[in-house]
Each structure stands twice: as C-alpha cells, then as structure tokens.
Amino acid sequence: MSKPIIIIGAGMVGISTAIWLQRSGHRVILMDRGNPGMGASYGNAGLIAQWAVVPVNTPSLWKDAPKYLLNPNSPLFLKWTHLPKMLPWIAKFMSNANEVDAQRMVDNLIPILTDAVDQHKSLVRGTPLEHWISNSKFSYAYNTLKDFKKDAYSWDQKARAGFIPTVLTGAQVSEAEPILGPSTQCLAVLEGQGHITNPAQYITELTYHFVSKGGQFIEAEVQDFTKTNGKITSIQTTQGPFECTHAVITAGIWSKDLMRKLGLKIPLETERGYHVIYENPSQMPRNPMMMTAGKFGVNPMDMGLRCAGTVELGDHHAGPSKQPIKLLKRYAAQAFPTLKYSSTKEWLGFRPSTPDSVPLIGEIGTSGIYTGFGHQHVGLTAGPKTGRLLAQMIDGTPPNIDMQPYAPERYLR
Ligand SMILES: Cc1cc2nc3c(=O)[nH]c(=O)nc-3n(C[C@H](O)[C@H](O)[C@H](O)COP(=O)(O)OP(=O)(O)OC[C@H]3O[C@@H](n4cnc5c(N)ncnc54)[C@H](O)[C@@H]3O)c2cc1C
C-alpha cells in the first residue's frame, strides 16, 4: 500500500484538506487527539463570513484598544497574567495596525474569503451533506445610523470586495428582525450569504463521509516528526509511529507547539472567544447577525440561539473567565429584550491568530510538511478554500491565486 499523507488536526481546516486530497486520489489519514471538530471549530458563531475581510488590527485600533481595555463594557479583554508572554506578539500585531499594512492584510484576506459560500458548497457537492450550508442574509446590527456611518472604513473595504449593504432604519429594522428590541435602530443587510447551523456536527459528518470514501480517521496525539535528508518520513504519535509522504499541520492554536517540535518559533497567539447558547428560545432571528455594540455574532442554530464573540487576549491553557460571558449575556439581553429561554450553555474557544491576521498556508521549505493554520476569526469560513489550496500545492498544481502572502516562510526562524 502507498504511504499516506497525514493531516494533523480535524477542525474545519483539517477535514477540508483531507477531503480535497482524497478527491485528487491520495491515500489520506486524518488524525486528531480527540473527536473531530472539538477545537475552535466546535463552538464558533457558524457564520460563513466571506465579508469579514477587515482584520481586527486596523489603524483605529491604536485609538480604540486602550479605551476598550479600560472599559468593563467593551468586548476586548486581556488576561493580564499572560501579558508578559504575549507582549512580543501584541507588539507585532499592533505594528501592522497602520494604513499600508491594513490594506495589505485586507488584500490578502479577500482571495481566501470572498467566495467562501461557494467553497463550502463545493466541499459538500455530491455528498449527503449539502443541507448543512444554509443560504441566508447577513446583517450588521447597529444601535444607531450614526454608528453605522462611523464604520465607514470597514464598509469601504467590504465594498472593494463586492459587499455593499442595504441599510434599514427605524421600523424597517423590527420588520426585518422582530426579535430585535428598540436598542437596534439600524441594520446593514448583505444578501446572498450563508451559515452553518451546527459546526461541530457538520465537521463530524464530513469526517464520516471522508471515512466512507476510504479515508482513515485515527484518534492519536501527534508528538514529533522524523525527517530523512530534510524530508518528512514519519510522525510519532501516542499510537506509535506512522510513515507518510507529506504531513499537514492543521492543529489550530496547538500548531504552535507542533512547530516548536520542528525547531520553529511561530508568533501564533490566541484571541480567546466565548459563546452562550440560549436553549429553547421563545424567538429566533430570521437570519444571522453581527451585534456591533457587543461584537458578537448571533445565529439561529439547531441547539438554540447562539451568541458568539468577544476577544480576550490570553493563553490557551487557562480556563474561562467570567467577565466575557457576563458581557455577552448583558448585550444579548439588551438586544433581545423579550427573549425567553429554558437555560444557557457557555463555551470558550481559541482563535489561532497571527500578527498579520493572515494564515500560514504552504510548505515549510521543501520538507514535505505543510502548514494550514492561523485563521483567526475566519477559520470556519476559509477552511474549505484553504484545504483546496493545500491539496493543489501538494499535487504540484499551481493555485490560481498568489500564495506568497500566505507562505509560512514569513514567520520561520
Ligand atoms: C467565539 C468564536 C466565534 C467564532 N466565529 C466564527 C465564525 O462565525 N466564522 C468563522 O469563520 N470563524 C469563526 N471563528 C474562528 C474559527 O472557529 C477558527 O478560526 C477555526 O475553527 C480554526 O479551525 P482549525 O481547523 O484551524 O482549528 P481547530 O478547530 O482548533 O482544530 C484543531 C484540531 O487540532 C487538534 N490537535 C491539536 N494538537 C494536536 C496534536 N498534537 N495531535 C493531534 N491533534 C491535535 C485539536 O484537537 C483540534 O481538533 C470563531 C472562533 C471563536 C472562538
């Protein structure tokens, strides 16, 4: 039997990579130390956020970050105990928050995001999983029209990528989304978008599909890599060694630890995020929205109404903090004043973020080891395209976009 390609990490990026490689005829093993879809991909907002081309580190962050960090009502938090460790990353992240670099980051996010609904549809086409991609509108919800106008930088960038909203105000808002209370007076609505109603189940079923087509899923923790003459020949795992022709690191925030095993120090940190699920809700939004006041996405999901967002700079070993959850609940109560529900469930997840908000997609030198991580707030969205690009690169088929901006080399040292 031919040696396989091993994909390390079965989140949205890993399963997409496994499926695209399988489709181009490779023998593929997908490995995860747990069940598929239990990392950041588990509890995200489920938005196919093809419009999310503007990173967090835009020029206004210099003005906003200090204000946010000192304001207990703001959706940006910092685990102060982690600050000394995180300082070098924060310095790099902030150094990109200028006009020129922000434009470069937007330009680099556009090719991997803006056709994401089609990319998800291509991933599931011809499988029994097509129902997972829900067609929807998507709205940014603002307290006032003035708040929408203040967001002009972001909307100008989105317009460059082809996303131009219809703006609703006053009574039009509650007609469009009856769940919204009077605190929301403006909706910027994008037509032709999409969302997922249960990201973890979506990934689980994609994995079943991959296995049903002859792929192998193995539950094992990858511990190290063996190279011969600079090329990957096997990986070491808790289930013993596995020979391979190529390995792809799609382990989200934990990719940082695996890169260390290769002697490489990548500036990857986590923007911790939270969700609250309102179970058995009395109302649901008709379509997903971004609540701009609290910076969280809302999505009518299978298991209830999910509100997911906030950014807490910190590390991925510490448990959840209370403040971000409280904040999410407070803003949700304000936005949906008549919502009733039976109970809530909370979750903390780790967005894997690079200082330039652009993922690392490509081969490490000529080692046969590829990276597919660092998708910050948009990994569910960009997973299928990333998987397709990686499969093309491994096949030696040049992708139809310039891969240089995503090359892992920019961070290798
Ligand atoms: C609150 C919140 C809301 C979000 N909302 C959205 C959204 O609406 N839309 C969007 O596009 N994105 C969203 N995101 C971001 C998105 O969830 C992430 O970018 C994405 O899930 C990252 O996927 P991944 O496959 O890279 O990593 P993960 O999903 O984290 O998967 C990594 C996998 O690697 C495995 N692993 C790690 N180490 C090893 C090892 N040594 N051996 C074997 N396996 C290993 C882990 O078990 C895990 O399953 C959100 C994130 C958060 C936190």
Distances (CA, A) of 276 to 76, 320, 347, 349: 17, 12, 7, 12
pLDDT at 178 over 70: yes
Note if the pTM is more than 0.95: yes
Cβ(384) – ligand 1 distance below 6 Å: no
Most distant CA atoms of the chain, gap in Å: 68
Angstrom distance (rounded) from CA 252 to CA 262: 16
413 — pLDDT class (breaks 50, 70, 90): low
5-41+200-267+356-411 belongs to CATH 2.60.40.10:
no
Residue minimizing CA distance to atom 22 of ligand 1: 379
Indicate the length of the chain as a whole number. 413
For residues 271 and 76, is the Cβ–Cβ distance under 8 A?
A: no
> Which residues lie closer than 8 Å to 255 by C-beta, 6 or more apart?
9, 249, 266, 268, 352, 371, 373, 374
Residues 320-352 have pLDDT tens digits of 999 999 999 999 999 999 999 999 999 999 999
Residues 20-33 have pLDDT tens digits of 999 999 999 999 99
Cβ(310) – ligand 1 distance below 6 Å: no
Cβ(55) – ligand 1 distance below 6 Å: no
Cβ(46) – ligand 1 distance below 6 Å: yes
Phi, psi of 220 (to 5 degrees): -160, 150
Whole-number mean pLDDT of the chain? 96
Substitution candidate for ligand 1 out of 13, 35, 44 with most atoms within 8 A of CB: 44
Q: What is the mean pLDDT of residues 173-200?
A: 98
Map residue 266 onto helix, strand or coil. Answer: coil
Cβ(351) – ligand 1 distance below 6 Å: yes
- Domain limits of the chain? 5-41+200-267+356-411, 55-100+131-193+268-353
What is the pLDDT at residue 237?
98
Reported CATH class of domain 55-100+131-193+268-353: alpha beta
Substitution candidate for ligand 1 out of 56, 377, 385, 390 with most atoms within 8 A of CB: 377
Q: What is the mean pLDDT of residues 297-306?
A: 98
Angstrom distance (rounded) from CA 14 to CA 159: 31
Residues 202-215 have pLDDT tens digits of 999 999 999 999 99
DSSP secondary structure letter of residue 96: T
Cβ(194) – ligand 1 distance below 6 Å: no
